[in-house]
Amino acid sequence: MNNKILLVEDDNNLGFVIQDQLSIKGHQIDLFIDGATALENFKTNEYDLCILDVMLPKLDGFSLAKEIRSLNKNVPILFLSAKSMTEDRIEGFKVGGDDYLTKPFSMEELELRIDALLRRVLQKSTNTKEKIIQIGDYQFSPENFKLTHPNFSKTLTRKEAEILTILSSSLNQVIEKEYILENVWKKNDYFVGRSLDVFVTKLRKYLSKDDRIQISNIHGIGFNLQIKK
């Protein structure tokens, strides 16, 4: 598993028990007993999860969570607290917490909460994985405007990327010129039509490393991106 976890707990006995149990499960645990020291450590390390006691010396758990959220908006934060009042739970979520566990608790419940938070992060990371479109020998990332070939790499302009995204999403199909103009320029007139021709010429040049790739101009209709066999 080997996840790196920041644990901040001023009760030495409880802190060591949690550290030992989670280490047995394969996690790497950095244990601190006050919020200020933990914050300084967070600034120079990357963590997969933060477990914060609410009542801490020097910097309480809620204040620590605010500081952590200002530095990292995504790392999961799990609060541990002897306070079970609804107001305290609400405050925990308001400052950026993802879960709230009331003391006393069982190690099994803590481990289940940790597993759920880490799965959520993994799922989110998988869902937001960079989309790559294969165009012949090229790889194209619409999000990063990056077009790469074994012998070529180019960061496209936004409009170049938008045009190539439209063409590559409908390989071997004719895309009407008006459709591209309306989606890229949000208007359709002579001048932007001429601009589109210029951008297509540039894309042909960028894609010229693979001679199977062809962007055809279908007169009076639009463009067709083809990969010849």
Cα within 13 Å of Cα(118), Cβ side: 17
Tally of CB atoms within 10 A around 70: 9
What are the boundaries of each domain within the chain?
A: 4-127, 133-227
What pLDDT score was predicted for residue 41?
Answer: 93
The stretch 92-118 carries a mean pLDDT of 90
Whether the per-residue pLDDT at 170 is higher than 90: the answer is no
Determine the topology of domain 133-227 in CATH. Arc Repressor Mutant, subunit A (1.10.10)
What pLDDT score was predicted for residue 15?
Answer: 94
Tally of CB atoms within 10 A around 13: 8
Domains 4-127 and 133-227 share a fold: no
- Model confidence over 120-138: pLDDT tens digits? 877 665 555 568 899 999 9
* Average pLDDT of the chain, as a whole number: 90
Tally of CB atoms within 10 A around 22: 23
The CATH superfamily assigned to 4-127 is Response regulator (3.40.50.2300)
Weakest-pLDDT range from 48-57, 107-116, 127-136, 185-194: 127-136
Phi and psi, residue 72, nearest 5°: -150, 115
In sequence order, the 6+-apart residues with CB closer than 8 A to the CB of 67 are: 39, 42, 59
Looking at the chain, the whole-number percentage of residues with pLDDT higher than 90 is 64
In this prediction the pTM is 0.56
The stretch 189-198 carries a mean pLDDT of 88
What pLDDT score was predicted for residue 149?
Answer: 94
What pLDDT score was predicted for residue 131?
Answer: 81
What pLDDT score was predicted for residue 88?
Answer: 84
